[in-house]
Amino acid sequence: MKKSSNSLPADMYLFDSPKTLQNPLLQHREVRSDSHPSTPGKAKMERNNHFGDVQSRSYNFFFVLCVSLFILMAGAYMLRSEGPSVEKKFIVRESESSIPDIWRSQAWQKSVRESCHVKREDGLVVLVTGAAGFVGSHVSLALKKRGDGVVGLDNFNNYYDPQLKRDRQKLLDRHGIFIIEGDINDAVLLKELFDMIPFTHVMHLAAQAGVRYALQNPHSYVHSNIAGLVTLLEQCRRANPQPAFVWASSSSVYGLNTKVPFAESDRTDQPASLYAATKKAGEEFVHTYNHIYGLSITGLRFFTVYGPFGRPDMAYFSFTQNILSGKPVTIYQGPNKVDLARDFTFIDDIVKGCVAALDTSEKSTGTGGKKRGPAQLRTFNLGNTSPVTVPTLVNILEKHLKVKAQKNFVKMPRNGDVPFTHANVTLARTELGYNPTTDLNTGLKKFVKCPTLEPSA
């Protein structure tokens, strides 16, 4: 089996300077807007009694027609615009005439090219989607620091505080990584980009994350995790050369599977959340693109990734904020008050898995949309292999924060959560040389001591 040729030293890429707990990053809040567009007002009907029967009947017919049309249009509008503002920022260009001037500017093109500049022999040229996100920013830095060419793509949506994404962007910028502000659904932008840069690899990490938020805004999951994925795959299969494609699936695809630890060959046809369903759908789509177009594809099932500069919507982060500000934390429990457990996986281990997946990817076999032969198709669990209960997570945080938490235990709502996750990583160990080394205690200590990469500017 091929091993990663460029394994990363444990501390090579991030978090050089420990920070205090007063770090502003801990103040990053979720800013999802739950405001849905207001429902159209009710049509008010007033009959005119002066009309005769015929006139009255045709009036009624006309009126019913108008009301029906109105309801249809209102329904269409609501379907189109339902959900919080996360979705409203998306730009989906349909023709080249809508390309903004900035993409044609020399400065923009220079930024993209310089960012993609390779500084080591046989270095990769990687498009990282979701580069301003948690995993995306860490992976981008790791690649850049070893001499690969990296350009990011991110739509900076406001699922959580976009300032955190801007802070990550600033850091990446200081390391010579340019992040293009755009959406993976923007086919015109993608074409422009691929025409300019012959990417060897795509590291696709842009997604609508979060298990429970899918109850509030299902469409944003379909938009990013399905439509966006397909738009990107369409571009990749047309590209010449076709890049190898590595992307983030999720442990959530195991859904109601009870066989532990979860192995890649276990059932994934019982998703418990809409988020999981979109990730599972993604796995089916990539299979098709591999089969028809010869794209080399590797899917990585991440298990509850945590660490510095992480996502404020996740439990370890929001619990930390609450504990520090004296607010209670809500701890869900399963049936019979069973504690929930997660195979929490530290970001450094995940980054090594991602980089190894890129390094061991074979080339795609197609050119310009035509398959020339069978291409590599792989799926790996990237977990920690030792699940920890949520109350234990809170205990560890209390210890490192030196603050007692106010704990509210509540019955797990029907929100798409699963009772536990536990990764079997035998396959990743064998084929990627993946070897998670950070336990939750050590990882949370790093998170608490160093919640951001560097002092806020």
Ligand X SMILES: O=C(O)[C@H]1O[C@H](OP(=O)(O)OP(=O)(O)OC[C@H]2O[C@@H](n3ccc(=O)[nH]c3=O)[C@H](O)[C@@H]2O)[C@H](O)[C@@H](O)[C@@H]1O
Site residues for ligand X per CB under 6 A: 209-211, 250-252, 302-304, 314-315, 330-332, 340, 342, 390, 417
Residue whose CB is less far from ligand X, 199 or 332: 332
Query: Which phi and psi (to 5°) does residue 129 adopt?
Result: -85, 150
Cα separation values, 368 from 190, 251, 284, 293, 372, Å: 15, 33, 22, 9, 10
Residue whose CB is less far from ligand X, 190 or 428: 428
> How many residues make up the chain in this entry?
457
Under 8 Å between Cβ of 176 and 46: no
| Cross-strand bridge partners of residue 154 | 181
Residue whose CB is less far from ligand X, 417 or 454: 417
What is the greatest pairwise CA distance in the chain? 89
Residue whose CB is less far from ligand X, 276 or 355: 276
Q: Residue 303 Cβ, how far from ligand X at the closest point, in Å?
A: 5
Residue whose CB is less far from ligand X, 363 or 400: 400
Q: Tell me: cis bond preceding 455? Omega within 30 of 0 counts.
A: no
Q: Residue 253 Cβ, how far from ligand X at the closest point, in Å?
A: 8
Residue whose CB is less far from ligand X, 332 or 447: 332
Q: Residue 434 Cβ, how far from ligand X at the closest point, in Å?
A: 16
Q: Residue 156 Cβ, how far from ligand X at the closest point, in Å?
A: 18
Q: Residue 42 Cβ, how far from ligand X at the closest point, in Å?
A: 38
Q: Residue 322 Cβ, how far from ligand X at the closest point, in Å?
A: 9
Under 8 Å between Cβ of 428 and 353: yes
Residue whose CB is less far from ligand X, 235 or 251: 251
Residue type, 238: R
Q: Which residues are catalytic?
A: 275
N- to C-terminal Cα separation, the chain: 45
Q: Residue 224 Cβ, how far from ligand X at the closest point, in Å?
A: 12
